[in-house]
Amino acid sequence: MTDAKTRIDETVKASDVVLFMKGTKEQPQCGFSSRVAGVLNFMGVEYNDVNVLADEEIRQGVKDYSDWPTIPQLYVKGEFVGGCDIITEMTLSGELDALFEQNGVTYDKDAADKIREANA
């Protein structure tokens, strides 16, 4: 059995986009996870969701791995991006679009624009 840090490291490097969250992308179990998953789902981003409620070692381990105290946590190309507030700000400013474009992550630009229009 590998330790949590190794499992997390392998997970974030195995997919272009990974969201450690409470629940799943189909059934989030907290409002913050729901918001980030909702943004990614609406924008059509393919991502790996990791339910931290299913594994206490991962739940604590991802906080230690990123040195970030809260869930959800978004990773793009193996790099920690941020939690709910940061992802919300990046979505509204267009920074998330730029990050996806720089990393070759496919997303729906029109959907991203709709999110910004709805929150203007």
Mean pLDDT, to the nearest integer, of 48-69?
Answer: 96
In the predicted structure, residue 120 carries a pLDDT above the cut 70: yes
Local confidence band at 13 (pLDDT 50, 70, 90 cut-offs)? very high
Number of other residues whose CB lies within 10 A of the CB of residue 57: 14
For 15-46, the pLDDT digits (tens) are: 999 999 999 999 999 999 999 999 999 999 99
Q: What is the domain class of 4-118 according to CATH?
A: alpha beta
Query: Quick one: pLDDT at residue 2?
Result: 66
Domain ranges of the chain: 4-118
By CB atoms closer than 10 A (0-12, 13-18, 19+), residue 84 is buried
Q: Is the pLDDT of residue 1 over 60?
A: no
User: Is the pTM above the cut of 0.75?
Assistant: yes
- The share of the chain scoring above pLDDT 70, in percent, equals 98
